[in-house]
A and B are shown apart, each in its own frame.
Chain A
Amino acid sequence: MTMGNKILSVFRRHRRIGLMALVGAVFMAASPMRADEAVAALPQGTADILWLFIGAVLVFFMQAGFAMVEAGLTRAKNASNIMMKNLMDFSLGAIFYWGIGYAIMYGESGSSFMGWDSSYLFMNAATDGQDFALSAAWFFQVVFAATAATIVSGAMAERTKFISYVAYSIMISAILYPITGHWIWGSDGWLSSMGMRDFAGSTVVHSVGAWAALAGAILIGPRLGKYTSDGKVKPIAGHNLPIAALGVFILWFGWFGFNAGSTLAAVDGLAHVSVTTALAASAGAVAAMITTWIWFGKPDLSMSLNGTLAGLVGITAPCASVSTGSAVIIGLVAGFLVVVSCVFVDTKLKIDDPVGAISVHGVCGAWGTLAVGLFGQHSIDVLFWDEKTAIKDGLFFGGGFGQLWTQLIGIVAVFAFAFCVAFAIFYLIKITVGLRVTEEEELKGLDVGEHGHESYPDFTLNEEF
């Protein structure tokens, strides 16, 4: 088996891989000037692994971004609890994704509903066959699984029992995320076969996390003091906005790996993906700023930060299928949507989501997925896939409702499944170990209650000091 074939077989999730390697090779051969300048070329297979590695470590760093955003937007008395949750959803998630998750998501002897391949369990297949392309694929995928898992942490912050969160983390990484992931990214997944396009995971990663967060936030109820008995909404301000802003910059930084890395190969197209990603995020931030400026009277920082993330989530699905102009529009809409949605969830639905995760990842994830059916262009998408697997033109590019309809089916199906399964998981946790800390502990803070210490002990007087 040649290296190229190996890559092809490993990354069946994206049929574009082998193709891109081929296109790259042809391109190199067709431009003699480049060939003259080139000293010694990295074999394409090695370059692909290298690019996957770079993408994966960038996405891994997003875990730090999530931790900072969540800590900044919540109170000081719960900061250690949030750090611990973000540490553990990756650590436990990685072990369970290694144990079973990857086999369910990418195994090829399962069905269109759920993958299976027992040789992928515990991933010994990679080292037994010295298949380092498989190792790279797993490493790249595990950081995405962790991203889906960690989204829930923010929405259920400041009131969830630590042990219950641990149990949930295991369930989403081992089962929930891999199943819906298989539908869209698995080689024989039923949505994938229908031609649904979710390039880097607006739905696969972000919506799944957000719909789980929605189920959890509904079941656990709002934080004490969030809503008064007569139904008024009281804001609970976060304790460190600069830390939240740092978190958003880290997420934005990591997102270049999230989207551009999802080419899954060292191909020239990753440049276009980087451009659409940068533009949509910027447009999201700008739109959120303008919306809050007009609506609230001042340009609001925490909402504009949400706007940046909204733009990023929105462009995640269409990043390799749309033009740069479309990317700006998608980002603008996402930035506007996220503000409206945050306020709607907070004041109308009365679901307490301290960091706006449901709006950022759920609503804008659905928007981004839908945007493929509106702004998608066959001529761009085909550069990353092939004539047979590329999307149809979107509604605004004369393709009619075909692609839009497929995208919509995907959004609704994933919502229904992820929400119901997550609801069942959280319900099960609620009636067994319990979901919520005691009222007394919530008032004291989860740092002391769950972990026995404070995040900022220097503000505490005690004998030694």
Chain B
Amino acid sequence: MKMIMAIIKPFKLEAVKDALADIQIEGMTVSEVKGFGRQKGHTEIYRGSEYTVDFLPKCEIMVAVPEEKVSAAVTAITEAARTGKIGDGKIFVLPIETAVRIRTNEDGEEAL
């Protein structure tokens, strides 16, 4: 089991969700987050004064998948979220120790 954590551009969320659904990954957790990478922020102007907004709005997707689906899921997210421009985001894959479905007490991959 792996946890895939993807930081993407907010307007790509819908496309990523659909791409994951296409490979039978059902369920994910999404947060609206702020951040920056090499892209850095942008400047805004307020009443003539410039200021830098470093943290840009992004979407963070958390999706837990069984081992055999990890590479397919990573590919699906990469393809769906790519615009080719700086700021497209990153994907992190983390190990999961265990998982439990609260309603039924199932654990391990059964719970995904």
Q: Which A residues contact B (CB, under 8 angstroms)?
A: 224-225, 440, 443, 448, 452-454, 457, 460-464
Contact = CB atoms under 8 A, between A and B. Distances in A.
27 contacts: A224-B11, A225-B11, A225-B14, A440-B85, A443-B11, A448-B42, A448-B44, A452-B44, A452-B45, A452-B46, A453-B45, A454-B44, A457-B44, A460-B34, A460-B53, A460-B55, A461-B34, A461-B54, A462-B41, A462-B51, A462-B52, A462-B53, A462-B54, A462-B55, A463-B52, A463-B54, A464-B51
A453 B46 contact: yes
Contacts of A460: 34, 53, 55
A459 to B, nearest CB: 9
Contacts of B42: 448
Nearest to A464: B51
A453 B44 contact: yes
Contacts of B44: 448, 452-454, 457
A454 B43 CA distance: 11
A164 to B, nearest CB: 21
Contacts of A464: 51
Nearest to B50: A452
Nearest to B47: A453
A445 to B, nearest CB: 10
A452 B43 CA distance: 8
Most central of B41, B44, B85 by chain A CB within 10 Å? B44
> Across chains A and B, which 3 residue pairs bring their CB atoms closest together, nearest first?
A452-B45, A461-B55, A453-B44
Contacts of B14: 225
A443 B11 CA distance: 7
Most central of A224, A225, A454, A460 by chain B CB within 10 Å? A460
A440 B46 CA distance: 21
A30 B44 CA distance: 69
A224 B10 CA distance: 14
A454 B42 CA distance: 12
Contacts of A462: 41, 51-55
Contacts of B52: 462-463
Nearest to B11: A443
Contacts of A225: 11, 14
Nearest to B51: A462
A315 B54 CA distance: 52
B109 to A, nearest CB: 34
Contacts of B53: 460, 462
B33 to A, nearest CB: 10
A457 B51 CA distance: 12
Contacts of B85: 440
Contacts of B9: 443
A443 B9 CA distance: 10
Nearest to A454: B44
B77 to A, nearest CB: 19
A462 B45 CA distance: 14
A19 B42 CA distance: 64
A224 B15 CA distance: 13
A448 B50 CA distance: 12
B11 to A, nearest CB: 5
B18 to A, nearest CB: 10
Contacts of B34: 460-461
A443 B44 CA distance: 16
